[in-house]
Amino acid sequence: MEYKQHPFKVFTISVNYFEGIVFCEKIMEC
């Protein structure tokens, strides 16, 4: 259960992934 040992790391990856999607959507709009 690696995600339990590094919950912050998994959370950071999830946030970065979400921000990446929003960033891509902004580029597509431009």
DSSP secondary structure string, 3-24?
HHH-HHHHHHHHHHHHHHHHHH
What does the pLDDT read at residue 16? 87
Q: Provide CB contacts within 8 A for 3, sequence distance 6+.
A: 10
What does the pLDDT read at residue 30? 54
d(CA 10, CA 14): 6
Q: Answer yes or no: pTM beyond 0.75.
A: no
What does the pLDDT read at residue 18? 87
Where b means 16+ CB within 10 Å and e means fewer, 3-19 reads eeeeeeeeeeeeeeeee
d(CA 11, CA 17): 10
pLDDT digits (tens, 9 = 90+) for 1-30: 565 666 778 778 888 888 888 887 888 765
